[in-house]
Amino acid sequence: MPYFLLLPGLLWLGVFFVVPMVFLLSQSLQTGTLETGYQLTFHFATYSDAMAQFFRQFLRSFEYAFLATVLALLIGYPLAYAIALKSGRWKPVLLVMVVAPFFTSFLLRTLAWQTILNSDGLVMKFFRGTHLIQLTTALGWTNGSQLLSSPLAVVTGLTYNFLPFMVLPLFASLDRLDPRLLEAAGDLYASPLSAFRRVTLPMSMPGVVAGTLLTFIPAAGDYINSRLLGNPNTAMIGQTIEGYFLRINDYPTAAALSFVLMFTILVLVSVYVRKSGTEELV
Amino acid sequence: MAGPAAGNDPGDLVLSSLTKRFGPFTAVDNVDLSIPQGSFFALLGPSGCGKTTTLRMVAGLEQPTVGEIRIGGHDITYDKPYRRPVNTVFQSYALFPHLTVWENVAFGLKRRRSEQVDSQVADVLELTELQALAARKPAQLSGGQQQRVALARAIVNQPAVLLLDEPLGALDLKLRRQMQVELKRIQTEVGLTFVHVTHDQEEAMTMADTIAVMNAGRIEQLGAPAELYENPATTFTANFLGQSNLIRATVRDRQAESATVALPSGTLRVPASRLPGGVDDVWVGVRPEKISVAGEPVHGEAIPAGLNRIPGAVVTDASFMGVSTQYLVRTPWGQELMVFEQNRSSAGIHRPGDQVSLSFAAEHTFALDAGQDAEAGIDLDEAPS
């Protein structure tokens, strides 16, 4: 019976996933306060109240996460393509550079963006000099005369922080692409552009799906970027959950929000995976 | 643009002083070839001889350093691969794994926005007996089936020239034999020009109308299979195409019809037409299956008069192989010759240690300039490419 080999994994899953899940679900249906203790009362109204109150933060989270994912894909695909197919002997160096940000903490990297985007920085000077700031403000991406504390800054931060999660799976699928298939496409009258559309892109779809999932899921739940680079009007749902758990100490509301977030992501992801039809490709 | 006369035909493939250098290494060295439309042409040579590079230049996957490639008088030397009327059957097949057999075959037609994709694909799938597999993905096919898809995907486009890069290399022997026959049938049926690159001399001889033997980037010899086999012009061809016994000899007496050459002991006659002019030091060659073995002492009519004879030889090894027996025979001067003899005589096979006389017809004897390496081309045909 080789099934006992599954035991460590199942144990891990049980202790670190199933038990906390059950605990969280139960917490979300309890009533009470931290001082008086919580009672399981199957108080489902917590869900409707929380959703009514924080629907905008939910929507904003998915909007920002979606934008960051699209941007990361647009930046990450050419990058992964270049590293996988055009970098020659520089490939390992470039790969290390993609992963290098992980040697610093997530928090520090996000704080660094405060410096990059602050009012005395080069980026701000560029935006002011080219009057781009007026355009972004008109579009509602920035507020007035600064880049920081704006939706633009939050989405930039999210894009930056999750870019490696996009690049690595894309690289893995593009690196596996047999260059002889591209020769064959050229031999069969496909121009380079057509060969990309008909061969490279479909063959890299598993990487696109994996990369977008790995970017979208954590970005939707992130609260560091919106906290450090945004303002109260850019608050994402992760920020609300964090606040309700750690500062307001309203555990049931926080647990309910966590559950809704998780469930929504689960639904979105399964629809996405089914739509992109990549199950058999992966 | 004064090409060879055949170059005026509408679909002839003509290579003129084609050269490809990779840094200091010359892969293809000043090759001139004219391949008539509709022929089955084989480029035969050991791995590294430049045959695949030549093919890739025709396909547009490599740029020639020097030279010109024309199809039907039209210069395609610098055309992009996707603009050439040429399709390739790749050694690795390079089938698109994300597309079905049908979509793989339709790929080229769709890129050219062909009108009747459906009917053309259906015709080719029928020709290659793949109709039943049209909906499968390449990963669900056997090696032989993948090979047929690769072929179907190329011929459906009706290219002026079809290039085949070791197309049967990955198949096992039995399937390879079967596909050789199939390829030849399909070529006859569709009437396209096939240029077939291979290191397998048997494969080349089975299928091709004309073979160009390549060695070290040059065309060593060009001709019909039987002509190359019977009249090798170089030691390389003599050894690479089949096997040859090469014996060092000196030309003694040249006459109109034939010449006498002196072996280390004894003499042989060589037809004048098969003797290189101007040199007296030669390799005298004879194919193993042309030699007869007779036990010594030779009785009466066992060896008809007029044949070349090497008496006083000793059998050193005899391998019975069913239809024939393969002998190694040591000549009086100590060289071992190979002999294949059909098992037709009732006398049974000779045993190692037997004293024998070797005989073969003068017209089966050829002579090559002794300036060449007698070992050239030996044991190269089994090298993986």
Residues B73 and B97 in one domain: yes
Rounded mean pLDDT, B89-103: 94
Instruction: Assess A191–B contact: CB distance below 8 Å, yes or no.
Output: yes
Beta strands at B161-165 and B86-89: parallel, antiparallel or unpaired: parallel
Cβ contacts from A onto B, under 8 A: 63
Q: Are residues B226 and B258 in the same domain?
A: no
User: How confident is the model at residue B7, as a pLDDT?
Assistant: 42
How many domains, in total, are found in chain B? 2
Q: Domain range holding B87? A: 5-230
Pick from B94, B95, B111: which is nearest to A194 by CB? Answer: B111
Q: Look at residue A1 and tell me whether its pLDDT is greater than 80.
A: no
Residues of A whose CB is below 8 A from B88: 184, 187
Instruction: Check pLDDT > 90 for residue A39.
Output: no
Are B198 and B42 in contact by the 8 Å Cβ rule? The answer is yes
Nearest to B107 among A188, A191, A202 (CB): A188
A186 contact residues in B (CB cutoff 8 A): 60-61, 80-82
User: According to the model, what pLDDT value does residue B304 have?
Assistant: 74
B291: Cβ contacts below 8 Å, ≥ 6 apart: B245, B337, B339, B340, B341, B358, B359, B360
Q: Does domain A59-235 have CATH number 1.10.3720.10?
A: yes
Identify whether residues B100 and B189 lie together within a single domain: yes
Q: What is the mean pLDDT of residues B240-253?
A: 91
Cβ contact B157–A186 (<8 Å): no
CATH number of the domain within which B198 lies: 3.40.50.300
- Residue A145 — pLDDT band, cuts 50, 70, 90? confident
pLDDT of residue B302: 64
Q: Which of B86, B100, B107, B112 to mutate to test binding with chain A, by most A CBs within 10 Å of its CB?
A: B107
Q: Which residues of A touch B98 (CB under 8 A)?
A: 199, 202-203, 281
Whether residue B297 is preceded by a cis peptide bond, meaning omega within 30 degrees of 0, is yes
Q: B258 with B208, same domain?
A: no
Cα gap A14→A25, rounded to integer Å: 15
Give contacts of A202 with chain B, Cβ < 8 Å: 98
Domain ranges of chain A: 59-235
Average pLDDT across chain B, whole number: 89
Mutation for B interface: A177, A188, A197, A205, most B CBs within 10 A: A188
Residue B383 resides in a domain: no
**Tokens encoding B181:** 């026959």
Determine which of B96, B100, B110, B112 to mutate to test the interface with A (most A C-beta atoms within 10 Å): B96
In B101-219, alpha helices (H): 101-111, 117-127, 143-155, 173-190, 201-207
A279 near B CB under 8 A: no
- B112-137: pLDDT as tens digits: 998 899 999 999 999 889 999 999 99
Mean pLDDT calculated for residue range A31-44: 86
B358 pLDDT above the threshold of 70:
yes
pLDDT (average), residues A132-150: 87
- Bridge partners (DSSP) of residue B348 are none
In a 3-state reduction of DSSP, which class is residue B145?
helix
Q: What is the mean pLDDT of residues B45-65?
A: 93
Query: Is the confidence at residue B32, as pLDDT, over 50?
Result: yes
CB contact, 8 Å: B90 with chain A?
yes
Q: How far apart are the first and last CA of chain B?
A: 35
pLDDT at B97 over 80: yes
Split at pLDDT 50, 70, 90, the class of B6 is very low
B249-305 pLDDT tens trace? 999 888 888 899 999 888 999 998 888 888 889 999 999 999 999 887 777 666 777
Tell whether B125 and B265 lie within a shared domain: no
Q: How confident is the model at residue A57 (pLDDT cuts 50, 70, 90)?
A: very high
Quick one: pLDDT at residue A281?
45
Laid out side by side, the sheet with B66-71 consists of B25-35, B13-22, B66-71, B74-75
* Cα B331 to Cα B246: distance, rounded to the nearest angstrom: 12
Q: Percent of chain B at pLDDT above 70?
A: 94
pLDDT of residue B296: 78
